[in-house]
Amino acid sequence: MALGGLAASVATSSVQAQPAPKPESLRKQKILEPSNLKDFIKHKLAAIVLG
């Protein structure tokens, strides 16, 4: 019976959850590149095409 009373007190609580904020679009984010990228990639466009 003690558990039933606990469930009833939780169910009658008036706390409401706030909706989560929407994340910003990734299109707005600046793409950072490593300063030493040329040490690893000779042709950047070819690397992008290859994925």
What is the reported pLDDT for 16? 87
Taking 90 as the threshold, does the pLDDT of residue 49 lie above it?
yes
What is the reported pLDDT for 15? 78
Asked whether the beta carbons of 3 and 9 are under 8 A apart, the reply is no
Phi, psi of 22 (to 5 degrees): -75, 135
pLDDT tens per residue across span 5-42: 555 555 555 778 899 999 989 899 998 999 999 999 99
What is the reported pLDDT for 7? 55
What is the reported pLDDT for 3? 57
> Against a cut of 0.85, is the pTM above it?
no
Give dist(CA 45, CA 41) in Å, integer. Answer: 10
